[in-house]
Structure 1
Amino acid sequence: MATTQEHNDTTGAFKESDGTHTQDHANDARLRRPYDYGGNPLAHLNTNDSARLPAFGGEFQPGLYKPIADRKIANPAPLGLSAFALTTFVLSLINMGTRGISEPNIVVAAAFGYGGLVQLLAGMWEMAVGNTFGATALSSYGGFWIAFGIIFTPGGFQILSQLEAADGGKETMFLDSLALFLFGWFIFTFILLICTLRSTVAFFLLFFTLDMAFLMLGIGYADRVDGAPREGCIKAGGVFGILAAFLAWYNALAGIADTGNSFFLIPVAHFPWSEKGRERRGKVDNSAARAAEAV
């Protein structure tokens, strides 16, 4: 018996008919495939045209995907993430006591030039892109690093010396002030953390580890031992800071890598309750295919 093919101009699907049975090949293939994510369940592709979608972290966008085809400027998120990552990496190593370094003077340069200025600029460009979350986060952390540089500039702004003078030559008032400063950033980072709960594991972990770093450092400076910062908490803050730095670099890579410069996809690991996670669960549901085969 002769068969005919009918093409759907809207969906691009072909239907084959022998006069008594009609089979939708596109829908059948979609049901039978174990997942539709380019062979990697941790990554995701636009399966309609095989074009790479931007990772949540790489675009610094915790919500649903936004079209980028008509965007007139480049993605500023990787620049801001990289600036944050390097400055955090250096400071965290010092907090861990690496190579016996006990003073954060070298971080002042990175805090002003890279983590501060460059990240602040990236945040401003996020405003031009229309990404409220990215603009708020990157600009704020750029401001954090500039403020950090101001606090620790040796002899420049005399914050430490003025507080010591007001406290009778002791560091108590300075350490308490620094603890309050860090606790404030812990609260702000927790607010941002809430906004990443529907994104990806990598993006969420970036803010979780950063939040824990602020918390540990704040506790370390507030809960002192014999007048000195609690070493265990400071080192714990350094460990969480190192993790945050590498996660920031990872998310930056997700924003830089594309089909023009990368041979592999960047795993993003969507949360199962996120929009993309629910979509993926729908794609791996083969119950309809098994029911059809049984008939």
Structure 2
Amino acid sequence: MENIKEIDNENKAMIKIAESNPMEVNQINKSLLADPAPLGLAAFGFTTFLLSFVNAGILSGTAVSVVMPLAFSYGGFAQLLTGAFEMRRGNTFGFTAFTSYGSFWFFYGLLVFFSYLKIITISVHALGIALILWGLFTLYMWANAMRLNLALNMTFLFLWLAFMALGFGAYYSNTTLTRIGGIFGFITAFFAVYTSFAIISNSIKEKTLPLGSPWFKK
């Protein structure tokens, strides 16, 4: 009975806070939610890391058959889920980034899947333009990431370079550019996974893993 009374008192306290300061309730609710960013960063990082083996020419194109399931299940779905929780937390940047890049992995997976079934024929020029457009999107996300921590800043910087190299590599059927894009992909994946690891570690114990200072203040 005492526990029930304590819960009832807590509910009454929350009602009083809501009546006096609704914004404070939002902050309390937000603090009760786990930070979804490490999940999205890990999903993005590990999927990018695997695909970069193909783009860099380390693995043959047949390895895409392994990349695809990961692209749908982890790179795609997990990032869309992360984006939904970022929206719930009121994080516009996180919502836009994770939802967009989660959608990218679905785009990539469907492209390869439909091509394998011979439903479509992939135009290298159209693919190149699509990747360059993703590069432009990443460019303005990077411009905003400069006001966040350095690790995220580097993630978006090298992702932008990767998209541009892969885009022009596809458009001009230039293997060298594609492999350079794969190398940038490895670097991107490293920063994404490190950021994920650092956020998780710093949430469990004292902040010991640095994320770096932003280039510009908010």
- Scaled by the length of structure 1, the TM-score of the pair is 0.60
From the superposition, tell whether residues 114 and 256 of structure 1 become closer, same or farther in structure 2 (CA, over 3 Å): same
CA–CA separation in structure 2 for the residues paired with 1:248 and 1:264: 18
What does residue range 34-183 of structure 1 map to in structure 2 within 5 Å?
Answer: 70-99=30-59, 101-103=60-62, 104-153=64-113, 155-156=116-117, 158-160=119-121, 174-183=123-132
Q: Which residue number in structure 2 is paired with residue 40 of structure 1?
A: none
Aligned sequence identity (%): 36
Structure 2 counterpart of 1:249: 193
Per the alignment, in what secondary structure is the counterpart of residue 130 of structure 1? coil
Residue type of the alignment partner of 2:83: G
**Deviation for aligned residue 1:146:** 0.3
* Residues 150 and 157, structure 1, Cα contact 8 Å, conserved in 2: no
Instruction: Give 1:264 shift.
Output: 5.9
1:146-187 CA distances to partner (integer Å, 9 max, x unpaired)? 010000015347222xx5xxxxxxxxxx10111011011001
Q: Structure 1's 251 and 176: CA in aligned 2 closer, same or farther, altered over 3 A? A: same
Question: 1:199, CA displacement in angstroms?
Answer: 2.3
For 1:155 and 1:271, locate their aligned partners in 2 and report how far apart those are by CA, in whole Å.
43
> Quick one: distance in 2 between partners of 1:68 and 1:210?
34
Would you say the 8 A contact 1:86–1:245 is kept in 2?
yes
Alpha-carbon deviation of 1:272?
5.8
Structure 1 residues 68, 190: closer, same or farther in 2, change over 3 A?
farther
Deviations along 1:66-89, whole A, 9 cap, x unmatched?
A: x77852321110001110011100
Note the alpha carbon deviations across 1:9-48, whole angstroms, 9 max, x for none: xxxxxxxxxxxxxxxxxxxxxxxxxxxxxxxxxxxxxxxx
Task: Tell me the amino acid that sits aligned with residue 91 of structure 2.
Answer: N
Tell me, yes or no, if the aligned pair for 1:124 and 1:139 is still in contact at 8 Å: yes
8 Å Cα contact 1:185/1:214 also seen in 2: yes
8 Å contact 1:219–1:233 — kept in the other structure? yes
Q: Residue 268 of structure 1 corresponds to which residue in structure 2? A: 211
Unaligned runs of 5+ in 2: 1-26
Decide which structure has the larger Cα Rg and report it: 1
Relative to its length, the structure with more strand (as a share) is 1
On the 8 A contact 2:202/2:209 being kept in 1, the answer is no
SS of match in other structure, 2:31: coil
Distance of aligned partners of 1:68 and 1:196 in 2 relative to their CA distance in 1, 3 Å threshold = farther
Secondary structure of the 2:148 match is coil
Structure 1 spans left out of the alignment, 5+ residues: 1-66, 164-173, 224-228, 276-295
The AA in structure 1 aligned to 2:61 is: S
